[in-house]
Structure 1
Amino acid sequence: MTGKKIKKEAAIIPADLFFYPIPLTQPGQLLTRDELYRHFEQPKGRKVYMGNQDEFLSFERGIATVKLKLNDGSIYYLYLHVEKKELHIACTCGMPEEKLCFHAFIGLFNLTWLSQTFDCQKLYWPNFYNEETSRKFLNIHVSGQNINVEAKPAYGSFYRSLIGFGKSSFPKLQEQIDNTLSIKAGESFVYAYALCFAPDIYRDRHYPLLIPFHGKTDRSGLKLVAFSNFCLPDKEPNPSGDHPSQQQLNSISKTMYETMRPLFYKNESRDWQVWNEAKATIFKLWQKALPLLVDFPYNQTYLLYWLRYLREKPTKYFMQASRYSLEQPSLSFMLTFHKDRFSLSVDVIVGSQVISVEHKPHFFIHDGQTGNCYMMNSLQDDRLLNWMLDNKNKITVLKEDFAEFNEDLLKGLAEFYPVFFADKPGNRTGYDYDVLKSGLAW
């Protein structure tokens, strides 16, 4: 293959050193063992692979330096630079005849040892080659056989030229289609419902379920102080609840449970298409249940890390009283300018108030100040808010990448959601790329 010289701004080694390009598997920018074998004939025998040691030394100006000590005691230095579609590798041997050398092969073989692949995306940071920029925005962890490059927590998730957010892809946007019970006397047994959910990084273990249970009120009759086992359809086929609303809710709960349970026990071989279909089904069931739940006095939320825990007695600490509201949150985005970069965040608005959201399951947000539980307006809103919160509610874009970021993401986002711009506190205007570009004069 034809070699390529790295741009001088990205180099910390002699500018004329030859770099050999190896195509990466997309998406994900993975170097695979199979691709490596296409560029160097695999040596026979085990001895040639045993005793070779590689060590990451640094990541500077877009180049990772690896020290390779072969089993014959010789030492070579490898230099790895990642572009969107290729890994470029150089060796201190110079790679005679501009072919991949044995030393580079062994080094890459070691990097792909455990999983037959090496994730090159973690070394792909275009426009961060400048040492000052890199030091300001990135955390670089180099530890022997491991290297990790990531945005500093203060900047959330960085937009990277040509790949956007990489494996954590921005949610796809599409056109949206429009779519009373009394309090019991004190110390009474009641039949109530819990929103059972897993939050944040655990939320994909299962989707939120509406599960009935028996509880006992305190002396005032205003709140529950004791909880019995959950009433599961496969354990209690004829649940309590004579009120028509309860009968409807029991039917909805049963359908949710029967939709989710088979998928949970096939979790290791997850079919995401099936899971997404189940997600849409359960979301629609919640939309039917919500108007019925609003007037129930003893609604609870329950932190449920694993679906199998429904077969155990509820943990009192994880039960929290909750009030459902028919108001639906809306999303509003704020783009802020910081001299050398832009940041994008999202506000969650209920009525005219911005509410703070830190921990979130699928479908719902919980207002800690009021105790109100709100259901998201759509699955698209839900996916988008989850994604933003998982990225610390801050997307950072270097000024040099902003034009591409606008075309790739922001223009489309502004078609579906309000986006505002602020170049200083209190100075908020509607986002317009042409006006912004003219005003900032770049």
Structure 2
Amino acid sequence: MRWIMPDKTIPSMNFFRLPFTPNTRILTENTLNQYSEIRKPKRGYFPIKIRKISFSNELLVIGVILDKDPEELVYIKVTTSELLISCRVDTHENYLSRYAYFSLAQLMYYDTEYDFEDYYWPDFFDQKTGESKYLMINKSKDNLHVSSKVRYKGFYKPGKQLPVISQNPVPLRKAVPCIQEQPSKETHVILGFCLADSNNEWYRTNHYPFLVPYTGILNKAKTEVRSFTIYVLNETQLPEIDLTDEQQKLVEICFDMRKIALVTSPAYKDDANRLAEKRQQNKINYNQLFELWQKALPLLSGRLYTHYSYTYGMRNVKGKPRRSSMIPCSFSIETPEICFLWKDKGDYYKLELRLRIAGKIYQMQYHYSTAFFAMLFCNPRRYALLNSIIDSELLSFFQKSHFQLLVLKKHYDGDFKNFVDQLRMIYVFISQ
């Protein structure tokens, strides 16, 4: 197939504009059809082939072949709220050509919408060379993959939703003594506690992190759990051993956690009101769970038999725990404080999130994330309960970009500056 060089400049009046779903870079099939009367023939075979040719100076160039016609070029530019599309044939500000229409329709072949976020990089290109020092653009046969280079991960793009920071700082949790648990002299049967975790976006029986008791049997030397017997989901499953008052209180907290840990997922026929109700109830449960974790921490930290398990859904938290999924862990009694490192990198600023524990600054573990907890890079299986819901939500936001945010100086004023100003009112900014 012949290589066609794209036009370097396209007059603005030659772009047809299509609105995105608010606060996204998603174009829906419904929106496309509202702006065009062109449709794919209902009868007969009408082949459409597209290939992504290049991405330069914010312009995505797509080659499209309709039936037996020669290939034509379609030009796409992604803005904050609109998709701008042009074509060498017919398309202008008041008309969408069939080449432009079918190129978009083909992008939505497997769905009723297409997310153009990967091609939204305003001001990230050198206008003279058409290249970007911040991006990796990998081309395969008919496709392009665009992403930020590893060192530039976390770049802010105008229109990105930033967390809302409360104006009222939450007092730091007071330090309390932790449990000093000792192995039983009379029996090898133990009552342990497992942090049950799951990604609450993926599975049908998603749940927020909660604590579940389990029974197990120690090895002969009583140095580790040899086998796990059962998850304790009610009082009838408790082992026939004497429980301390602290163990009994912790078990009751575990039962309360499990009642509200399940995430209510959207159903196919849910309307907007029902979806809003579910989101609100999930938020209430999330906040209540965090309060229960605060109550549980003094009764949990210092215990000998604590494990972590990624459950893949609430339906798996029953019966005998799988030994291979039970990972030893510990819970810190100390309260981590979020702080920020601010750097001027020339043409952009860099904001890094750090944790301060007992006066020392730590980097975060970003490969794994568990709501409510901080996981340190130096000791990822020692869980430190965060100080507030705001801290937890902020940590989840920053974890997606390896605990750093970058912003071009030309994008700093406005939403990003307001966000940083809010952070400065609540959190400490450090110099190193």
Question: Does the TM-score normalized on the shorter chain lie above 0.5?
Answer: yes
Equivalence for 1:230: 231
Q: Corresponding residue for 2:31?
A: 35
Number of residue pairs matched by the alignment: 406
Sequence identity percentage: 22
Q: Residue 200 of structure 2 contacts residue 208 of structure 2 at CA under 8 Å; is this kept in 1?
A: no
Pick from 136, 139, 153 the counterpart of residue 139 of structure 1: 136
Shift of 1:19: 1.5
Matched, 1:156 2:165: no
Alignment partner, residue 419 of structure 1: 429
Secondary structure of the 2:72 match is strand
After TM superposition, the structure 1 stretch with the greater mean CA deviation from structure 2, 213-222 or 406-415, is 213-222
Residue identity in the other structure for 1:170: L
Aligned match of 1:341: 348
- 1:307 maps onto 2:304 in alignment: no
TM-score of the aligned structures, taking structure 2 as reference length: 0.82
1-structure distance, mates of 2:364, 2:125: 35
* AA partner of residue 354 (structure 2): D
Question: RMSD value over aligned CA atoms?
Answer: 3.3
Worse-superposed segment, 117-126 or 359-368: 359-368
Q: Distance in 1 between matches of 2:125 and 2:380?
A: 47
- Alpha-carbon distance, 1:328 to partner: 0.6
Q: State the partner residue of 2:101.
A: 105
Aligned-residue offset at 1:284:
1.0
Match of 1:7 in 2: none
**Whole-angstrom distance in 1 between the partners of 2:184 and 2:231:** 20
CA distance in 1, matches of 2:194, 2:398: 27
CA distance in 1, matches of 2:89, 2:381: 66
Shift of 1:127: 0.6
* Residue deviations 1:129-171 (CA, integer Å, cap 9, x gap): 316684321122444664442212221211113x13xxxx333
| Deviation of the 1:337 alpha carbon | 2.1
Structure 1 unmatched runs, 5+? 1-9, 422-427, 429-442
1:364-417: CA deviation from partner (whole Å, max 9, x where unpaired):
234554964321101211121122122112222223223346424211221221
Shift of 1:98: 4.6
CA contact (8 A) 1:213 1:229 kept: yes
Of residues 319-328 and 286-295 in structure 1, the stretch that sits farther from structure 2 once superposed is: 319-328
- Out of 228-237 and 32-41, give the one that drifted further: 228-237
Aligned pairs for 1:35-184 within 5 A: 35-43=31-39, 45-46=41-42, 50-95=46-91, 98-130=94-126, 134-143=131-140, 146-161=143-158, 163-164=159-160, 169-174=161-166, 175-178=168-171, 181-184=181-184
Which consecutive unaligned segments of at least 5 residues does structure 2 have? Answer: 1-5, 174-178, 269-274
Q: Using structure 1 for the length normalisation, give the TM-score.
A: 0.81
**Alignment pair present for 1:380 and 2:393:** no
**Equivalent position of 2:333 in the other structure:** 326
Q: Residues of 2 paired with 1:117 and 1:239: CA distance?
A: 57
Aligned match for 2:372, one of 363, 371, 384: 363
Q: Which moved more, 1:185-194 or 1:333-342?
A: 185-194
CA contact (8 A) 1:155 1:394 kept: no
Question: What is the one-letter code of the residue matched to 2:315?
Answer: R
My pick for the range that moved more, 337-346 or 195-204, is: 195-204
Distance 1:115 1:413, change over 3 A: same
Aligned match of 1:209: 210
Q: Which amino acid aligns with 2:250?
A: L
